[in-house]
């Protein structure tokens, strides 16, 4: 199983800087790399990564994207004096040159390609290249916006050529539009380019009409270029997560990429002088985590922008920790996106409706700019960053406590087996679903669940799994355990996949959120904290689980912000096992990864897959990501109904007044 996170950095890339007075470019300083790298060292992350050396890109690699003339021109900067460098720079927009910048641009590109090689040849699972100059603004024959060679665009072209890839996703979360990258792949359906960027109705740099949501790609590439404009500053974690849930993730799963490249610019984080946004460094741990279930975890993050050294270095550390599989921190106060963000989300979904199955059958209208929610006018954000850099502390080993498996499977040694007392293993399987036979059995059940949960709460393990005779019994046992023994747990999210009517206790005090996915319409009383989701069965397969996951379950779960997540699944539920593994993997972004999986009447193969998901191993992609009409309608109706209580579910501006 592929593991390991590559960290690619060389201090040679700090050896160029601005040599004359050019205010627009003064923020792009060498310290961006050196400060970030030293923060990685302080947090003990350098030694946890696999160091991969940089190399110079070859001319052939540069020419994958750039013209020969452009390359020859850049070469000449090596022998220029400052006046000549200044004159040379004036032919391009917002970019400066230095005698050593050509060398560093070759190293930045070489580092990027080294990362692609390491991931594609399975030396590592994922990784990050800390490079400068950045790349996503540079074009066939033009340097632009601090960028010389387009590192990520060439990485995609290189990966297609060297590894014969057919589907590559580029996620550009930098706060500037990577127009250079867009131009390279506008008519190419094999590269899905996604970018959000500060736009302010074309008032913000690079002030291009083609950066708006209406640019969806050309010809065969139509639908494979996705622009999400931020028309106000001050966007927060909720705005960023909403775009992932309601636009990027459904598209990414439908596209099913073989490789994910991130144009990882962190000028989209709080306190950045360019972005003036409010998303916290911890948010980038979640953005990273949410992408890690794609492409069997093959992700290459390449640094683009990011100019506040403190914010930048903490964002990079959060990204690396997520890559390493560390628990991702709680995000507080997730709620409805602001109206301006909703307007952008609505418009992106409207123009892409014809290109993506998950949107096709929805009633989405265009919404033109007339929103003026001044909430985003404030220059600075109301939440200071929680960047008290965690003092260096080794995390508990990523272990999974497993109970009640009998002898059917031998567990990976990374698991902690809860030894059963003297109950002979064959008896364990004797439980019937309807009732738990005899007092002994339910007592036995309780004891085993308690031991798994104790280990989770004592942080001896990250998460746990228990094969149980009856899901409803087990859920009740878990809840009673938490109320009695674990006072640190005040909010529990239970995701129950089954048809039994769960006896919802009357009090809706919010310390239990039950989301139940069922293939039959549940008559149970629905309330804010009891969400029944009906998913029609087609043949023996339940469709729309992924759609429900992105449109409903994850957004509500993030807004609820539980201390513990419990999944209660039954193998007979008719849900594709690969989808259940995606669900198990994605839900680990909540509750700092404290997840307990209850499985009824498990099949061995499913147990093994679930354990792999819990251990953070790469999971298989879902091939039939294309969703079905009816299921989408059902989920859409639930979303419409719940969005008043769970604002994160909104996907369009609702005129309340
Ligand atoms: N401050 C408002 C003016 C905007 N100046 C933009 C300068 C180019 C930025 C390029 C960049 O950051 C690469 S990620
Ligand atoms: Zn940028």
ipTM here: 0.97
Q: Residue with structure tokens 């070859």? A: 58
Residue nearest to atom 9 of ligand 1 (CA): 145
Q: Which residues contact 126 (CB under 8 A, 6 or more apart)?
A: 5, 6, 119, 292, 297, 298, 299, 300, 301, 323
Provide the β-strand partners of residue 126: 5, 299
Q: Which atom of ligand 1 is nearest to the CA of 307?
A: 12
pTM of the model: 0.94
Tens digits of residue pLDDT in 269-290: 999 999 999 999 999 999 999 9
Q: Choose which residue among 94, 136, 152 to substitute to test ligand 1 binding: the one with the highest number of ligand atoms within 8 A of its C-beta.
A: 94
Count CA atoms closer than 13 A to 615's CA, side-chain side. 20
Is the C-beta atom of 275 inside 6 A of ligand 1?
no
Contact 262, 173 (CB under 8 A): yes
CA 197 to ligand 2 centroid distance, Å: 8
What pLDDT sits at residue 382? 57
CA 289 to ligand 1 centroid distance, Å: 27
Is the C-beta atom of 265 inside 6 A of ligand 1?
yes
Q: Which atom of ligand 1 is nearest to the CA of 265?
A: 14
Q: Residue with structure tokens 């809706």? A: 508
CA 275 to ligand 2 centroid distance, Å: 8
CA 31 to ligand 1 centroid distance, Å: 17
| 514 sits in which H/E element | strand 512-518
Q: Which atom of ligand 1 is nearest to the CA of 274?
A: 1
What pLDDT sits at residue 372? 58
Helices 281-291 and 309-323: angle between axes, nearest 10 degrees? 30
The residues annotated as belonging to the active site are 137
What pLDDT sits at residue 630? 73
| 51 sits in which H/E element | strand 50-51
What pLDDT sits at residue 324? 97
CA 306 to ligand 2 centroid distance, Å: 7
Is the C-beta atom of 267 inside 6 A of ligand 1?
yes
Is the C-beta atom of 274 inside 6 A of ligand 1?
yes
CA 94 to ligand 1 centroid distance, Å: 7
**Ramachandran assignment for 13, one of left (phi > 0), alpha (psi -120 to 50 degrees), beta (any other):** alpha
Flag residues of the chain having pLDDT under 50: 374-375, 377-380, 386-391, 422-438, 657
Is the C-beta atom of 250 inside 6 A of ligand 1?
no
Is the C-beta atom of 25 inside 6 A of ligand 1?
no
Is the C-beta atom of 96 inside 6 A of ligand 1?
no
Is the C-beta atom of 286 inside 6 A of ligand 1?
no
Total residue length of the chain: 657
Residues with Cβ within 5 Å of ion ligand 2? 174, 176, 265, 267, 305
Helices 31-42 and 309-323: angle between axes, nearest 10 degrees? 50
Is the C-beta atom of 24 inside 6 A of ligand 1?
yes
Exposed e or buried b for every residue in 169-184, given b needs 16+ CB within 10 A?
A: bbbbbbbbbbbbbbbb
Provide the β-strand partners of residue 230: 198
What pLDDT sits at residue 498? 87
Residue nearest to atom 1 of ligand 1 (CA): 274
What pLDDT sits at residue 406? 58
Tens digits of residue pLDDT in 547-595: 899 999 999 999 999 999 999 998 777 788 888 899 999 999 999 999 9
What pLDDT sits at residue 438? 46
């Amino acid at each position: 199983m592929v593991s390991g996170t590559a960290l690619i950095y060389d201090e040679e890339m700090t050896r160029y800087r601005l040599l004359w007075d050019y205010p627009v470019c003064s923020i792009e300083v060498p310290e961006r790399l050196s400060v970030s790298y030293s923060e990685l060292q302080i947090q003990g992350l350098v030694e946890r990564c696999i160091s991969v050396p940089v190399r110079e890109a070859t001319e052939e690699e540069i020419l994958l994207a750039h013209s020969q003339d452009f390359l020859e021109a850049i070469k000449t900067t090596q022998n220029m004096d400052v006046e000549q460098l200044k004159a040379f720079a004036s032919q391009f927009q917002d970019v400066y040159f230095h005698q050593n910048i050509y060398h560093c641009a070759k190293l930045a590109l070489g580092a990027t390609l080294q990362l692609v090689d390491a991931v594609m040849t399975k030396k590592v699972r994922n990784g990050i290249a800390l490079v400068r100059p950045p790349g996503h603004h540079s074009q066939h024959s033009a340097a632009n916006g601090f960028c010389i060679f387009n590192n990520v665009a060439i990485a995609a072209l290189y990966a297609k050529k060297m590894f014969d890839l057919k589907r590559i996703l580029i996620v550009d979360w930098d706060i500037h539009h990577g127009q250079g990258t867009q131009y390279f792949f506008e008519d190419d359906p094999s590269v899905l380019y996604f970018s959000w960027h500060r736009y302010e109705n074309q008032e913000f740099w690079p002030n291009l009409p083609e950066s708006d949501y209406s640019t969806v790609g050309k010809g065969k590439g139509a639908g494979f270029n996705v622009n999400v404009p931020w028309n106000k500053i001050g966007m927060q974690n909720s705005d960023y997560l909403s775009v992932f849930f309601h636009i990027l993730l459904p598209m990414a799963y439908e596209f099913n990429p073989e490789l994910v490249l991130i144009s990882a610019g962190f000028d989209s984080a709080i306190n950045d002088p360019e972005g003036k946004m409010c998303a916290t460094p911890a948010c980038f741990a979640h953005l990273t985590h949410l992408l890690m279930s794609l492409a069997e975890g093959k992700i290459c993050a390449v640094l683009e922008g990011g100019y506040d050294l403190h914010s930048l270095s903490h964002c990079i550390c959060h990204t690396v920790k997520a890559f390493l599989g560390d628990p991702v921190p709680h995000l507080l106060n997730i709620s409805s996106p602001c109206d301006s963000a909703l307007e952008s989300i609505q418009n992106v979904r409207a123009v892409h409706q014809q290109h993506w199955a998950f949107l096709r059958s929805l009633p989405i209208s265009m919404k033109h700019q007339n929103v003026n929610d001044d909430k985003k006018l404030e220059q600075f954000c109301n939440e200071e960053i929680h960047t008290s850099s965690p003092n260096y502390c080794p995390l508990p080993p990523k272990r999974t406590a497993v109970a009640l498996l009998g002898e059917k499977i031998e567990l990976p040694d990374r698991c902690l087996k809860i030894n059963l007392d003297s109950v002979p293993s064959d008896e364990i399987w004797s439980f019937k679903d309807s009732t738990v036979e005899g007092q002994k059995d339910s007592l036995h059940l309780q004891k085993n669940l308690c031991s798994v949960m104790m280990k989770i709460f004592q942080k001896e393990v990250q998460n746990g799994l228990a094969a149980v005779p009856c899901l409803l019994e087990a859920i009740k046992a878990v809840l009673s355990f938490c109320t009695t023994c674990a006072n640190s747990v005040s909010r529990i999210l239970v995701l129950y996949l089954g048809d039994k009517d769960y006896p919802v206790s009357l009090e809706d005090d919010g310390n239990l959120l039950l989301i139940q996915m069922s293939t039959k319409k549940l008559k149970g009383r629905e309330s804010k904290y009891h969400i029944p989701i009906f998913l029609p069965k087609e043949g023996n397969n339940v469709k729309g689980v992924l759609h429900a996951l992105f449109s409903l379950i994850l957004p509500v779960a993030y807004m609820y912000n539980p201390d513990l997540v419990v999944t209660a699944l039954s193998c007979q539920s008719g849900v594709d096992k690969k989808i259940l593994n995606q669900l198990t993997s994605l839900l680990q972004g909540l509750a700092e990864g404290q997840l307990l999986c209850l499985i009824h009447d498990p099949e061995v193969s499913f147990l093994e897959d679930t354990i792999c998901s819990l251990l953070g191993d790469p999971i298989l992609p879902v091939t039939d990501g294309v969703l079905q009409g009816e299921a989408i309608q059902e989920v859409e109706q639930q979303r419409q109904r719940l969005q008043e209580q769970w604002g994160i579910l909104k996907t369009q501006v609702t005129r309340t007044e």
